A and B are shown apart, each in its own frame.
Chain A
Amino acid sequence: MRSLRFLLLFAAVLSALGAVTARRQEIRLLRQVQAEEKNALRLQQEYRELLLDRSRLGSYARVELIARSKLGMVVPVINLPAARAVPSDSPAVPAMPGTGRRIVAAAGGGAF
């Protein structure tokens, strides 16, 4: 009977200690999770700022400005009048007057 009492007392103390430890653990983990949440937010923020910086630094307007003003670059000019098209595989429709058929009146009631 006496040993049972001790056993119960020991179990009660152990249980109380367990409850306290669990509580402490819970608080510690809660703080940890909140800190990680904050860290995740900071990383998200950093990622977005880096994306924005990359877009800003690589924007075509900025690249063109630097290319023109600092590097003295110009867009190459191809002189079209100096280039003439060679007839391609799929030529344009020949459109010389008199080579086609003439329609005097067409379906639909309209006159040409």
Chain B
Amino acid sequence: MAILRLRGRCRPLPIATSPLLRNALPGWRLRFVHGTLMLMFAAVAGMAFYLQMFLQSESLADGEKRSNHSQPLPAFRGMIFDRNGNLLAGSVMTRTIVADPLQIKRDLVIQILADILKQDFKQLERNLLRKKTFSLELASPLSRDARQRLIELNLEGVYPESDYILRIEPETLRPEKATLPLGNQLLIRELASLLDMETDNLVNLLETSLAKGRRGIELRRQVRESRASQIAELGIAGISQSGDFKRYYPMGAVSAHLVGYTGMDNRDQDSGLAGVEKSFETDLSGTPGVWKTIRDRKGRPIEDKGVTHAANGQDVRLSLDSRIQYLAFAALQQALSRHRAVAGSAVVLDAESGEVLALVNLPSFDPNDRRTLHGDKLFNRSVEYSYELGSVMKPFTVARGLEKGIIRPDTILDCSPGSFQVSGEAIPDHRNFRELSVAQVLQKSSNIGAARIGMAMSREEMGENLAAFGFGQKPGEGFPAATAGLVHSWHKWQALDQSRIAYGYSFSASILQLARAYLVFTREDRSLPLLSMLALDQHPAGGKPALSARTRHEMLDMLESVVNAPGATGGQARVPGYRVGGKTGTARKLINRQYESGRYLATFVGIAPMSQPRLIIAVSIDEPKTGKYGGGDVAAPVFAEIAAGALRSLGVTPDMPLQLAAEGISVAVESGETQ
């Protein structure tokens, strides 16, 4: 029996006799309450069962959405620097400015209305949002001017009940239908100015989108953060921002082909599409991270659910020297303009390491402006374009002849009568040189002389010679779409092919390959390394020597004579204060298997300075149209200009004593003495 126990001295009282229970409740009430409670519990249990069994995933997702938060951690794409630490490409976070024309107009109208009616903007906006008709009590009667402005707004749903009271029907009042010339609004004008847009264009865009009912219009992408902050400070409702990245190229068109450019990939991330951006994509691309947290009602993080840190892309330090790059670009640009040429390329290599110090193509493009990223100007000619190089190949034929002991620099060759028949085809010189030494064959650029040397070798030797100088092979790593040129197997050569190859026809190569081949003459170990786009800490090994030391010296002397000897073709390549050497080339363009008359490719490859080679510079100019078309006239001066500037900027000591004849002053540059 249940007993009610009381504290103290009171004796226990049986529950049945408790005075509290004396008036028993009617049984039906008890059952009713009991039943109702049971029903409610059953409903709750049923609902819980339904949610658990049938809406589990939705419920979970909904709950997670409210509390779980994933904060993206952006990763910067790696920067690209030149060898001196100058920035060539870098990414910054930018903003995309998005407009909701409807909200912009609505907000502006409410602002003007608040101004006319001398009301608080927030209060008025709240009242309008309630969508219930309300009466607005004015502190003072509307002035004539205010009435006029109200009329001009052409708003429906605003009715004066008296001088002091206005009835406003938010359902009828549709601010977006108001007559409001957006162009007159100061905020819109300021926005247009910050977006670098004409006010009229911006207004047109907003009005058109408004008429079409479009919302979320991208006004401008990739706006710098500082500018985006200014836009945010305008406080225009309906203007929102989202984050993205923009890649900048401070050197613009100057290094465009070498550095390349990026585009958005399917993950909406920047990915390299050309140049170094493409070839070093793996290094440059970063991996964004994410930070998962649980947030409270106010959106503050309260629990860490794990973080995947963002990994920025690695920076890349190129072998490029932006000073030389700019010099080459400026010199080539002038030459193209002077000779009205259609295109041109220049490559500057470190004569010992094979690092690419400059690589220029014209016409070029500005990678900062995506509108220019189309057409022929994207073509990286110096890397991707192979053509019959012409006479710049003669030194390789001569070098092999010297190496094989077939000739010496002073060997005399009969080049008369200015034409040489091979398999019924005439190999011409541009005049009858009669007899030329081997050195003179290079100085005068005699096709017959080179062909005779080539014919004195076997086809196999000639084929090996091309391979030894890297023709028919990729010039290096990190050059996307680099051509290996076209060199047929020597087994298939006819006698005519052999003779033509000796002076640079019947096979093709790019000027990058050509410049690389000259490394054999400039490197102390006479080997041929792969070219490098990256700055190297030490000189790369190039395998076995392609020439003997003696042949190398003889070749350097002969190449110098091409520039310095009287009547030689390379006279215009001379650089004041420096001994330079090189070889000119003038090739006819082969179009649809026909050599086009009047369309030439002028080439010059040079070495500077000759006492201790530091640079190899190859210049090619396509279709000069001002009458002069020879490599010596068109390309050699470009070489001279690049070499002069590059040697100065590298601090290379002049190695040629100069005698200023006009002033009768002899300057011994090397010793620094003036006589």
CA distance A82 to B456 in the complex (A): 42
The answer to whether B293 and A108 have CB atoms under 8 Å apart is no
The answer to whether B456 and A83 have CB atoms under 8 Å apart is no
CB contact list, B553-593 vs A, under 8 A: 554, 557-558, 560-561, 564-565, 574, 576, 579
The answer to whether B443 and A88 have CB atoms under 8 Å apart is no
CB contact list, B377-420 vs A, under 8 A: 404-414
Question: Quick check: is B254 within 8 A (CB to CB) of the other chain?
Answer: yes
The answer to whether A101 and B301 have CB atoms under 8 Å apart is no
The answer to whether A82 and B565 have CB atoms under 8 Å apart is no
Which residue of the partner chain, among B92, B414, B560, contacts A52 with CB atoms under 8 Å?
Answer: B92
Chain A residues with CB below 8 A from B304, complex form: 26, 30
The answer to whether B76 and A48 have CB atoms under 8 Å apart is yes
14 A-B pairs (CB sep. < 8 Å): A41-B74, A48-B79, A60-B323, A61-B252, A85-B579, A86-B656, A86-B666, A91-B557, A92-B561, A97-B436, A102-B412, A106-B406, A107-B456, A109-B455
Chain A residues with CB below 8 A from B438, complex form: 100
The answer to whether A37 and B561 have CB atoms under 8 Å apart is no
Closest to B556 in A: A90
Chain B residues with CB below 8 A from A86, complex form: 656-659, 666
Chain B residues with CB below 8 A from A80, complex form: 574, 576
Closest to B309 in A: A37
Task: Given A44-B76, A60-B326, A107-B404, check contact A83 B658 (CB 8 Å).
Answer: yes
Question: Quick check: is B661 within 8 A (CB to CB) of the other chain?
Answer: yes
A11-38: CB near B (< 8 Å → 1, else 0) gives 0000000000000001100110010010
The answer to whether A93 and B250 have CB atoms under 8 Å apart is no
Chain A residues with CB below 8 A from B408, complex form: 100-101
Nearest-CB distance from A69 to chain B (Å)? 15
Question: Quick check: is A67 within 8 A (CB to CB) of the other chain?
Answer: no
Chain A residues with CB below 8 A from B254, complex form: 60-61
Chain B residues with CB below 8 A from A83, complex form: 576, 658-661
Question: Quick check: is B655 within 8 A (CB to CB) of the other chain?
Answer: yes
CA distance A58 to B410 in the complex (A): 51
Question: Quick check: is B225 within 8 A (CB to CB) of the other chain?
Answer: yes
The answer to whether B659 and A108 have CB atoms under 8 Å apart is no
- Which of B83-91, B115-123, B147-155 contacts its partner? B83-91
B518-538: CB near A (< 8 Å → 1, else 0) gives 000000000000000000000
Chain B residues with CB below 8 A from A96, complex form: 437
Task: Given A30-B304, A52-B250, A86-B657, check contact A97 B414 (CB 8 Å).
Answer: no
Chain B residues with CB below 8 A from A64, complex form: 330
CB contact list, B238-253 vs A, under 8 A: 248, 250-252
Question: Quick check: is B224 within 8 A (CB to CB) of the other chain?
Answer: yes
Which residue of the partner chain, among B71, B326, B405, B439, contacts A95 with CB atoms under 8 Å?
Answer: B439
CA distance A82 to B576 in the complex (A): 11
Nearest-CB distance from A73 to chain B (Å)? 14
**Sorted from nearest, which 6 A-B pairs have the closest CB atoms?**
A100-B410, A110-B456, A55-B250, A92-B561, A60-B326, A110-B455
Chain A residues with CB below 8 A from B666, complex form: 86
Question: Quick check: is A45 within 8 A (CB to CB) of the other chain?
Answer: yes
CA distance A34 to B436 in the complex (A): 79
Question: Count the B residues whose beta carbon is within 8 Å of the partner chain — how many?
Answer: 81
Question: Quick check: is B282 within 8 A (CB to CB) of the other chain?
Answer: no
Interface residues of B (CB under 8 A from A): 71, 73-74, 76, 79, 86-88, 90-93, 224-226, 248, 250-252, 254, 291, 293, 300-304, 312, 322-323, 326, 330, 404-414, 434-440, 443, 452-458, 461, 554, 557-558, 560-561, 564-565, 574, 576, 579, 610-611, 655-663, 666
The answer to whether A95 and B458 have CB atoms under 8 Å apart is no
CA distance A98 to B415 in the complex (A): 14
Nearest-CB distance from A92 to chain B (Å)? 4
* Extra inter-chain contacts (10) besides given A107-B456, A110-B454, CB under 8 Å: A30-B302, A45-B225, A48-B79, A49-B92, A84-B659, A88-B579, A92-B561, A93-B557, A107-B404, A110-B455
Question: Quick check: is A59 within 8 A (CB to CB) of the other chain?
Answer: yes
Closest to B74 in A: A41
CA distance A111 to B94 in the complex (A): 70
Closest to B557 in A: A93
Task: Given A52-B248, A84-B659, A86-B658, check contact A108 B90 (CB 8 Å).
Answer: no
Nearest-CB distance from B304 to chain A (Å)? 5
Chain B residues with CB below 8 A from A66, complex form: none
Task: Given A27-B302, A56-B250, A84-B661, check contact A51 B79 (CB 8 Å).
Answer: yes
The answer to whether B87 and A52 have CB atoms under 8 Å apart is yes
Chain A residues with CB below 8 A from B658, complex form: 83, 85-86
The answer to whether A48 and B90 have CB atoms under 8 Å apart is yes
Closest to B436 in A: A97
Nearest-CB distance from A100 to chain B (Å)? 3
Chain B residues with CB below 8 A from A84, complex form: 659, 661
The answer to whether B301 and A55 have CB atoms under 8 Å apart is no
Nearest-CB distance from B428 to chain A (Å)? 18
Nearest-CB distance from A97 to chain B (Å)? 5
CB contact list, A61-87 vs B, under 8 A: 61, 64, 78-80, 82-86
The answer to whether B250 and A82 have CB atoms under 8 Å apart is no
CA distance A55 to B487 in the complex (A): 42
CA distance A102 to B413 in the complex (A): 7
Chain B residues with CB below 8 A from A111, complex form: 452, 455-456
Chain A residues with CB below 8 A from B86, complex form: 55, 58
CA distance A98 to B436 in the complex (A): 9
Nearest-CB distance from A47 to chain B (Å)? 10
Pick the most buried of A26, A55, A88, A91: most chain B CB atoms within 10 A of its CB.
A55
Which residue of the partner chain, among A54, A78, A99, A100, contacts B576 with CB atoms under 8 Å?
Answer: A78
Question: Quick check: is A112 within 8 A (CB to CB) of the other chain?
Answer: yes
CA distance A3 to B323 in the complex (A): 85
Chain B residues with CB below 8 A from A79, complex form: 662
CA distance A85 to B661 in the complex (A): 10
Nearest-CB distance from A29 to chain B (Å)? 9
Closest to A54 in B: B87
